[in-house]
Structure 1
């Protein structure tokens, strides 16, 4: 039988060995996964505030995120993040979502910080619950259930007057907010995100919008995905990774929605006709783009008519890496898209840095939802 002292020595040795093994594994993780582990430990141990703070009224649902510790460079989709479910109210009444807002604040002073610390704020719906309520079960699973996303350069927007996304007040929305830091490697800063969902009561005059997500997908060599250099005239890309944002077309070719851009200017384009799923025609009223730094514009292009439907210009900071402003498309009258037309997303980039950078290009498109309008009005 082992003596107690030997048991303690064995336990101590096992602890040291497992700790060393954990450190080795941790050092091999990506920056994104390191951030997940650090944030989890900081929140679980209570070293930083891990609670969401809620303050809502009849026109706005406001949240203050847990504390995020920024301790180094975090590029797009790498920084500390937090998620939670929310209900705009506790009733079965119909409300109309009219806009969104996110700000970064200093966790100690409550001072509003630059948008440098905002990566994105996602709003997801439960599409099974949402469409079942309206008896539109044929829509379930047809689109990625993300209503929209705010991101670096587009930290707030409002839908055109008289339009919005209808939702039952007690239905759940899933909110995720994530931090960013492109420019300050030597930093230790505690940050929170202030998130707002704007809404109003239904007065029978508002028109419903339906969100559809479209994004650029570029082919890559599935046998050697990270090879280079690529033919400058090719639409092929080098993916950032092959585990996330990787898709497969009908012929078995692999496509990436998160790819590497070289230095200099380049244009990327991708068909979005299948993503749009337009049967006959649809009237578009709003678009919220999502791009990464060094993008300079993103356009919806009608390939059938060989013309640009609209372009959202993108302004980069000149003295640092980051997006100053991403323009949206917004129209009360709307513009028509047609089921028999072919459409593309076209994005221009100008990588003025001295290294390759990562890129994404997508749009959240909001169409007038005639079918849902008839369900709500009872006509």
Structure 2
């Protein structure tokens, strides 16, 4: 075979591969396109791919790699990046006291609209964390997420005198994701600045235990995207069945990321299995994560038929987005009991002309008497 024929066959092969890759790419969901696009831009050096770290003033501050915003990215779809951090290089006991995130212009580093912040997750390694305090029986029991900041709640601090103890050289895993609900012809780059506040004080701080609770709704396993009209009021249509889908082996499947129709609607979900209260617990703080069009999320005591905490949301009036999400903070605390039943109740109002997606979570922080005795000793 001559060189010219080899070049022709090679060219045709490359062209067919390019066309096939293009067809495959355009059929992907928006969030998967964002992942591929972000990896390509960062790995090729078109945008920077490094985290910038500053840990000099009892706050661990870092600036994310660049996120290229080139269109609409709804909640859970935008470019994102993750990073492992250590607050110090030794095992000195530190106390986490607050979390913050803001969006920056990628060139000037000046703050821009919070509308470009989807969420920032702060996770921990439960094996190492609990082993450090000889609490091995807790490993694998609870969801290993300390909290999540999101659009509408970009700053969260614990009440005075409370914090989460952590060895300085233990690892935190930070994931921050971008958002764009409104600018259809977007063509710009942003960064996220994430800050973790901490203290070195070893006295007069009480330790907190983190528990994550979120709404999970059943869906039709055999036909997930079937209308809920015929399946009952508690059923939902999931956004997808691969992510945020849960099967507990009882024949039902549940979704934590579902579609809400036009108009007002209320959803509720038991959270007893997520809380796993073995004895009375005192709630001192709660951070809330919801998507646009949520109007209220209530931590409800079904036994006493009372609200422990109701978080109200303020939605933008002239565009899609959340201006504010109320959080909970109390030095005195609120008691929750083993023999009570609890649920989350979500109220939504979809004011658009099309279906939207929804999630609803609470990150609850209780006084940890067992850990207090260990830390003090």
Aligning the two structures, in what range does the TM-score lie when normalised by the shorter sequence? over 0.9
SS of structure 1 residue aligned to 2:269: strand
1:143 matched residue in structure 2: 142
| 1:195-250 CA-partner distances (Å, limit 9, x unpaired) | 10000103221111111100001111111111115259711111111111111245
Q: For 1:305 and 1:176, how far apart are their aligned partners in 2?
A: 38
Alignment-derived partner of residue 112 in structure 2: 113
Deviation at 1:95?
A: 0.4
Q: Secondary structure at the match of 1:138?
A: helix
Structure 1: segments with no counterpart, 5+ residues: none
The answer to whether the 8 Å contact 2:69/2:187 transfers is yes
Alignment of 1:157-196 (within 5 A): 157-196=156-195
Partner of 1:228: 227
Q: Which residue does 1:247 correspond to in 2? A: 246
Report the CA distance between 1:355 and its aligned residue: 0.7
SS for the counterpart of 1:23 is: helix
Cα distance in 1, alignment partners of residues 231 and 316 from structure 2: 27
**Aligned-pair CA distance for 1:5:** 2.9
Q: Cα deviation per residue 1:60-80 (whole Å; 9 max; x = unaligned)?
A: 000011010000000001000
8 Å contact kept, 1:58–1:200: no
Aligned 1:1-379 pairs, distance under 5 A: 2-228=1-227, 230=229, 234-249=233-248, 251-378=250-377
CA distance in 1, matches of 2:85, 2:57: 15
Q: TM-score, normalised by structure 2?
A: 0.98
Secondary structure, counterpart of 1:10 in structure 2: helix
Secondary structure, counterpart of 1:347 in structure 2: strand
Deviations along 1:22-64, whole A, 9 cap, x unmatched? 0010010000000001100100110111111111114100001
Report how far residue 251 of structure 1 moved.
Answer: 2.2
Q: Is the contact between residue 228 and residue 236 of structure 2 (CA under 8 Å) also seen in structure 1?
A: no
Which stretch has the larger CA shift, 190-199 or 3-12?
Answer: 3-12
Question: What is the RMSD computed on CA atoms of the aligned residues?
Answer: 1.2
- Deviation digits for residues 327-347 of structure 1, max 9, x if unmatched? 001100111101111000001
Q: Output the CA distance in 2 between the equivalents of 1:252 and 1:139.
A: 28
Distance in 2 separating the partners of 1:17 and 1:232: 45
Please say which of residues 148-157 and 227-236 is displaced more in the overlay. 227-236
- Distance in 2 between residues matched to 1:58 and 1:107, nearest whole Å: 24
Task: Give the SS at the match of 2:229.
Answer: coil
Tell me the CA shift for residue 3 of structure 1: 3.0
- In the alignment, the residues of structure 1 paired with residue 62 and residue 287 of structure 2 have an alpha-carbon distance, to the nearest angstrom, of 22
User: Following the alignment from structure 1 to structure 2, what is the Cα–Cα distance between the partners of residues 298 and 54?
Assistant: 35
Q: Find the residue that maps to 1:376 and give its secondary structure.
A: helix
Cα distance in 2, alignment partners of residues 345 and 5 from structure 1: 69
**Structure 1 Cα separation of the partners of residues 253 and 229 of structure 2:** 16
Q: Deviations over 1:267-323 (max 9, x none)?
A: 110000111000111111000011000000001101111111110111101011000
Cα deviation, residue 139, structure 1: 0.7
Deviation at 1:14, TM superposition (A): 1.7
Q: TM-score, normalised by structure 1?
A: 0.97
Asked if the contact 2:299–2:308 (Cα under 8 Å) also holds between the matched residues in 1, the reply is yes
| SS state at 2:207 partner | strand
